[in-house]
Structure 1
Amino acid sequence: MAYVLDTAGLPAGDRVEAVHTAMMYASAPCHVIHEDPARPVYARMGVWDLGDANIFTHRSSGIRLLRTAKLARQDAMPVIALSVQQRSTGFLEQGRAGPFVCARGELLGVDLSAAYDYSWSGDGAAGCLQIPVDRLGLPIDVIRSALGRLPASPLYRLVTTHITALSQNPDRITSDQSAATVAAASIDLCRALLASAARTDRHSSATRAVLAETLLTQIRAYVRQNLSDPDLTPARIATTHNISLRHLYKLCADAGLSLEQWIITERLQGARHDLLTPANRTRPIAAIARAWGFRDPTHFTRRFRARYNSTPSQLRASSTEARTPGDPVL
């Protein structure tokens, strides 16, 4: 994938039309209204395929994207966008809700298949994940109900951080061999966010089923974020997710997962990566072990040898010798 548009190489007189054409391709057809068309506008947009979804980034001078009801009726495939405001402040009006103000670093949800009015002033930017509604496995009324109250979900900050990371380095993420796994996990996280935000008595049966299906995804994400904490225990994981320890173990068993072994494996993989990173050549092995949640260096070495058939010091020495044959082993 390449950038859809970068106006830096275009004459000023051609930019307004170029931005409109690019927006038609990158997101939903809409009227593109520039804050100050008398001055040269600028824009840079990009779209990257990520499985069944896509990452869309947009930075430009002040702009208003107006999608009318007439334009909305022309689309056959509903799509939602979960967008993190990266520069300036975003303003969204959609449905009967009043204007939604999205500060920098916050997340907003837009139903791209419906009418909306979205804008920012001055130098603004946003990065978003665009997902077809049929990939979310949620009724459209549940999704629309959720979009207006995303901050009410306990997953709001987690998903905001995730989408921010996706939009900061989309080239590398989408070209990596793990892109398909990232895509599935991203859709699953967004699905859980919407389901939890939409939880009401009227929708409780639909959202409860979705939350149950995505709970293990939430648990995995939580564990990965807390691998460095030596006090990360099954009991703490269960308490954090408001489930019993027994239910936690059942979720893992149903997925063919040994929780404690998986945590140790994730920690060992992180430690191994750090040991092989040239920038860490002088960093003490004990410090690396502590950074990945191992309090006892002896325990760490024993687990590491069992996993990789090599001690941490042996791995570091062989790696250093392979990179720089004449250098002393650190």
Structure 2
Amino acid sequence: MSATTARPACQDLTSSVAASFDHWRHLVAQSFVPLLAETDDAGTFRGRMRSRVLDRLCIVEVSATSHSVHRTPALLAQSDQRYFKLNLQLEGTGLLIQDNREAVLRPGDLAIYDTNRPYTLAFEEQARMMVVMFPHDSLSLPPDYVGQLSAVRLSAGSGLTGIVGPFIAQLAQNLEALSGPSGSRLATNALDLVSTMLHSELAMAPDRMKPQAVLATSVREYIEANLADPDLSPASIAAAHFISTRHLHNVFHESGSTVASWIRSKRLEHIRRDLRDPLHSGTSVGAVAARWGFLDAAHFSRTFREAFGQSPTDWRRSARDQA
């Protein structure tokens, strides 16, 4: 399974209570990316975790007493998959540290951080939070652009945070009900809201905006809008933005991706959702693929299997069985 299309590591739906702090260390490592958990109160520690996977988005509700988690350079070397995490503080206070910035998070506050760089989250007392984890390429914003907001407190009730925060809190209260096509649509909506919020936060801080990042965002949005065009290519994208194809490739190279892999990943995600959706149950696999620019059925089938570990027909059948 490729890094660009891999699903987050947490399970489809779990609810676990830590029997000990050692057990908590295991739960944390299994539910997110590899993390080092520490506490000064192992004997009295209590923790509970509930998680749900919706397509490529992982939602985890964490409730625990005093402890900290660390994403160390050594742990970074254990995984090449790149995720963002969005933290919504529900109860208590948390401290997020990344990129020499610190954010003190109180109930209702949001903060984003990158699992591809070291960070620390610390809680001095009982706390409850929602963590939403998703791959870098789930957003139209380039990762370096989003990284300018890492460990920045997005205060409760301020701007779009006042919309996104309550939406995520509602997801936390209804994890058991989130499944099938409706859950998939909610995951897409959640990522759209997060992306819009980040756009807004960066637009309100012009000193954070760089021309190259603005171009990268524009290119990604253009690709999203034209995925169904089978003739979409680096040449057509570059021409639409009045830049050379070499410049276009450099834009993607800086974020650790390529133009072709970005287009392929986005097309596959749309196809994957459509194959799961009952509204498209009467449409053949080939027709669904063609709708999103894959005209060669054999090439599409190989590409889908490489990305998701099963054929598109098997994916559709398994999704139908789970509905």
Q: What band does the TM-score fall into relative to the shorter chain? A: 0.5 to 0.7
Post-superposition offset of 1:4: 4.8
What corresponds to 1:312 in structure 2? none
Task: Give distance in 2, aligned partners of 1:213 and 1:83.
Answer: 28
Task: Give distance in 1, aligned partners of 2:161 and 2:21.
Answer: 35
1:295-323 CA-partner distances (Å, limit 9, x unpaired): xxxxxxxxxxxxxxxxxxxxxxxxxxxxx
The alignment of Structure 1 onto Structure 2 pairs a total of residues equal to 206
Q: Are the aligned partners of 1:84 and 1:160 in contact in 2 as well (CA < 8 Å)?
A: yes
For 1:1-330, what aligned pairs fall within 5 Å after superposition?
A: 1-7=12-18, 10=19, 15-37=20-42, 39-97=43-101, 99-149=102-152, 151=154, 154-172=159-177, 174-175=178-179, 177-199=181-203, 200-202=209-211, 203-207=213-217
| 3-state secondary structure, aligned to 1:19 | helix
Post-superposition offset of 1:181: 1.1
Task: Check 1:74–1:195 CA distance in 2 against 1; reply closer, same or farther (3 A cut).
Answer: farther
TM-score, with length taken from structure 2: 0.58
Task: Check 1:149–1:207 CA distance in 2 against 1; reply closer, same or farther (3 A cut).
Answer: farther
Task: Give distance in 1, aligned partners of 2:201 and 2:104.
Answer: 18
Q: Are the aligned partners of 1:150 and 1:194 in contact in 2 as well (CA < 8 Å)?
A: no
Post-superposition offset of 1:207: 4.3
Task: Give distance in 1, aligned partners of 2:148 and 2:183.
Answer: 30
Task: Give distance in 2, aligned partners of 1:208 and 1:151.
Answer: 24
1:135-188 CA-partner distances (Å, limit 9, x unpaired): 21332101101334463884222111211111122111x226411211111111
Task: Check 1:150–1:212 CA distance in 2 against 1; reply closer, same or farther (3 A cut).
Answer: farther
Q: Are the aligned partners of 2:85 and 2:112 in contact in 1 as well (CA < 8 Å)?
A: yes
Q: Are the aligned partners of 2:97 and 2:103 in contact in 1 as well (CA < 8 Å)?
A: yes
| 3-state secondary structure, aligned to 1:147 | coil
1:254-293 CA-partner distances (Å, limit 9, x unpaired): xxxxxxxxxxxxxxxxxxxxxxxxxxxxxxxxxxxxxxxx
Q: Are the aligned partners of 2:92 and 2:127 in contact in 1 as well (CA < 8 Å)?
A: yes
TM-score, with length taken from structure 1: 0.57
* Identity rate, percent: 21
Gaps of 5+ in 1: 215-330
Q: Are the aligned partners of 1:195 and 1:207 in contact in 2 as well (CA < 8 Å)?
A: no
Task: Give distance in 1, aligned partners of 2:223 and 2:128.
Answer: 34
Task: Check 1:166–1:210 CA distance in 2 against 1; reply closer, same or farther (3 A cut).
Answer: farther
Tell me how large the CA RMSD over aligned residues is.
2.6
| 3-state secondary structure, aligned to 2:170 | helix
Gaps of 5+ in 2: 1-11, 204-208, 225-323
| Higher RCO (C-alpha 8 Å, min separation 6) | 2
Q: Are the aligned partners of 1:147 and 1:194 in contact in 2 as well (CA < 8 Å)?
A: no
Give the AA of the match of 2:215: S
1:26-63 CA-partner distances (Å, limit 9, x unpaired): 112111111412x3211111220112101111101111
Post-superposition offset of 1:211: 7.9
Q: Are the aligned partners of 1:83 and 1:109 in contact in 2 as well (CA < 8 Å)?
A: yes
What corresponds to 2:7 in structure 1? none
Q: Are the aligned partners of 2:109 and 2:153 in contact in 1 as well (CA < 8 Å)?
A: no
Task: Give distance in 1, aligned partners of 2:30 and 2:108.
Answer: 25
Give the AA of the match of 2:14: Y
Task: Check 1:149–1:17 CA distance in 2 against 1; reply closer, same or farther (3 A cut).
Answer: closer
Q: Are the aligned partners of 2:140 and 2:221 in contact in 1 as well (CA < 8 Å)?
A: no
Give the AA of the match of 1:126: M
Post-superposition offset of 1:127: 0.8
Give the AA of the match of 1:125: R
